[in-house]
A = this chain, B = another copy of it.
Amino acid sequence: MKFSLLLTHTTRGNPSEADTPSHRYMLRSGMVMQIASGIYTYLPLGWRALKKIEAIIREEIEMAGGQEVRMPVLQPVELWEETGRNLAFGDTLFSLKDRRGRGMILAPTHEEVLSQIGKAYVQSYRDMPIIIYQIQTKFRDELRPRAGLIRVREFDMKDAYSLDVDEKALDDNYQRMALAYRNIYKRCGLPAIMVEADSGAIGGKESHEFILPAATGEDTIIICSNCEYAANLEKALSNYPKLPESESFLREEIYTPGVSNISALQRFLKVDHKQILKSIVYVADGEIVAVVIRGDLKVNEAKLGNILMAKHLRFANSDEIRSAGLIPGFISPVGAADIRWVGDNSIEHGRNYVAGGNKADLHFRNINFPRDFTIEQLVDIAEVNEEGLCVICNSPLQSLKGIEIGHIFKLGTFFSEKLGVNFLDQAGQSQPVIMGCYGIGIGRLLAAAIEQNHDEKGIVFPVTIAPYSVHLVGLNLDDEDVMNSADYLYRSLWEDGTECLFDDRIAETAGVKFNDADLMGIPIRVIVSKRSIANGTCEIKFRSGSDSNPVSLTQATAFIKQSLETID
């Protein structure tokens, strides 16, 4: 492709709407164009990169045994009412009425239709194991589209589904797909980390995310500094460092006038956070639930929600707290009214806590569990932090910011039971099919790759997903010899199967061309100029490096081909 013909314009200034590097650089290089909030057009440069990712995904999923299908975007709402997922998705679901007044939804994911296929075409144990996949546009009316292609309302996704006869077979397919995912990220040049994840609203029982470390990521993951343990913050577990042993002292009352939050209490009593019991009152699906946790730890609401099996979880307001017989600012499980109390495991890992007095301006000292109070459940609801230790090897944990670029789920029989996806087993008995599902947002993968691979000048594309492999920059192109040499190299590269973008613009300066090349981030830059051809050479430079080296024009094509196979 010649730059003069390419549908793009690069821009210098940073677009005001873009606050992350991928968003900024994709707009500036003309890879995408916004049409509405969270809705984009891919221009040729962006679309080429996306197609490369798609091709890698197709190959790996086919290698894992996947068969490609294509399910529709528009689906009857009745199908979603059967699984209740129209409610679970809520306002995120785009819906409409057709000309005959029938309710339709724009699919945010395809388990329901996949189940229809399963019902029709997977009837016997002989039809399994099977993996079915597609690359199809998904629609989610996100509350806050953000960061360019990271969170959008219309996006392409590879979604795969496994159907199996039993849990063991599901495990096999799950492992096969996890391996395919690892291969995909590796081939895209992206060091994704597979972490244990919360299944959320999708309704499965085990799931893993693939996280690409990036400073702008919305997700936090916890990884062990020593072993393979890795989990999403919502799912992560940790051991507690041992606190010094101590005997249990006698409970004391302390007058704490107006000291109604943890920080104030800490200053007032000059004790560490770890020495305080923090009590928080929630409303879970309409029910008041109080929680007690060690003062240095945060409640992880995903964990709490899962334990309470609550769909909606929020803080109680003052009136609700009072109506539960508690005093805001002085809440405590000690001598509390008869409401439901849940305790985090951390309350056992310490002695002689300070806790609220359940009366205005009163706290207790030397509170010990279970001597001084009882709770209904002792569970893990604490958000892991870097002070935690690995539950597998007791080594220090680290936390990392990243972007979720893949999610795999063991769905079990959630959909097959609701939608009647059954098969006849070897004994002729009808059984529900065991399902798994596996998703990669392709545009997000592209954006995440740029979040991770860029510098202050622009994108630094991994070779395999770059829109072109070579950015050929011609200087002094009004000189016929230079134009001929550049054109010779351009043709030679394409004939050799190397995709080349040739900046053939005559009117632009070298500076503009170099800036555009840096912005677009194509892996290899080749400069042909009056000076270079005087020596029969071109200058070759890697976008990821700084050295520029002369290579003879006749050997450049072979040199580049070899370089592409070896650079990261």
Q: Is the CB of B68 within 8 A of A47?
A: yes
Flag whether A154 is at the interface (Cβ < 8 A). yes
Segment among A116-124, A168-176, A301-309, A364-372 that sits at the interface with chain B: A116-124
Q: State in angstroms the CA–CA spacing of A75 and B75 once bound together.
A: 19
Flag whether A40 is at the interface (Cβ < 8 A). yes
Flag whether A9 is at the interface (Cβ < 8 A). yes
Number of A interface residues at 8 Å Cβ cutoff, please give it. 56
In the complex where A99-B141, A141-B98 touch, is A74 in contact with B36 (Cβ < 8 A)?
yes
Q: Is the CB of B41 within 8 A of A74?
A: no
A84–chain B nearest beta-carbon distance, Å: 19
Q: Is the CB of B74 within 8 A of A6?
A: no
- A120: chain B residues at CB < 8 Å are 9, 33
Q: State in angstroms the CA–CA spacing of A23 and B285 once bound together.
A: 49
Flag whether A20 is at the interface (Cβ < 8 A). no
Q: Is the CB of A153 within 8 A of B74?
A: yes
In the complex where A39-B74, A126-B4 touch, is A98 in contact with B104 (Cβ < 8 A)?
no
Q: Is the CB of A154 within 8 A of B117?
A: no
Q: Is the CB of A99 within 8 A of B95?
A: no
Q: State in angstroms the CA–CA spacing of A381 and B120 once bound together.
A: 51
Q: Is the CB of B121 within 8 A of A30?
A: yes
Residue of B nearest to A4 (CB): B126
Q: A72's contact among B4, B41, B72, B96, by CB below 8 Å, is which?
A: B41
Q: Is the CB of B9 within 8 A of A121?
A: yes
- A76: chain B residues at CB < 8 Å are 35-36
- A95: chain B residues at CB < 8 Å are 96
Q: Which of A75, A104, A117 has the most CB of B within 10 A?
A: A104
Docked complex: A67-90 residues within 8 A CB-CB of B? 67-76
Docked complex: A1-54 residues within 8 A CB-CB of B? 1, 4-9, 30, 33, 35-36, 39-44, 47-48, 50
Q: Which of A39, A126, A132, A154 has the most CB of B within 10 A?
A: A39
Q: Is the CB of A41 within 8 A of B96?
A: no
Q: State in angstroms the CA–CA spacing of A39 and B67 once bound together.
A: 20
Residue of B nearest to A128 (CB): B5
> Can you list the 5 inter-chain pairs with the closest CB atoms, starting with the nearest?
A96-B96, A42-B70, A44-B67, A91-B99, A39-B72
8 contacts across the A-B interface (CB closer than 8 A): A1-B67, A8-B121, A9-B121, A33-B117, A48-B68, A74-B94, A74-B106, A98-B153
7 additional A-B pairs beyond A33-B116, A36-B104, A72-B154, beta carbons within 8 Å, are A5-B67, A7-B67, A35-B116, A41-B117, A47-B69, A73-B154, A94-B96
